[in-house]
Amino acid sequence: MGQKKLDHERDIKLSMIGIKTIRYTNDEVLKTLKLVTDNIKEEILERSYEI
């Protein structure tokens, strides 16, 4: 049995007891990390001008 199938079955069992699971693809995680990194860089630049 493939990993995705096992994950899906586990998610169903967890949902039966009230636990919601959220799956993210690597692409989604990488996009979010890039956005956060860009925001941090922008904040550092803004604060360096204030000093």
Residue 38 CA to residue 4 CA, distance in Å, equals 32
Note the pLDDT tens digit of each residue in 1-51. 788 899 889 999 999 999 988 887 888 889 999 999 999 999 999 998 876
Any idea what DSSP says for residue 50?
A: H
pLDDT at residue 37 in the model: 96
Indicate the domain borders of the chain. Answer: 24-51
Owner of token pair 């994950």: 7
pLDDT at residue 21 in the model: 85
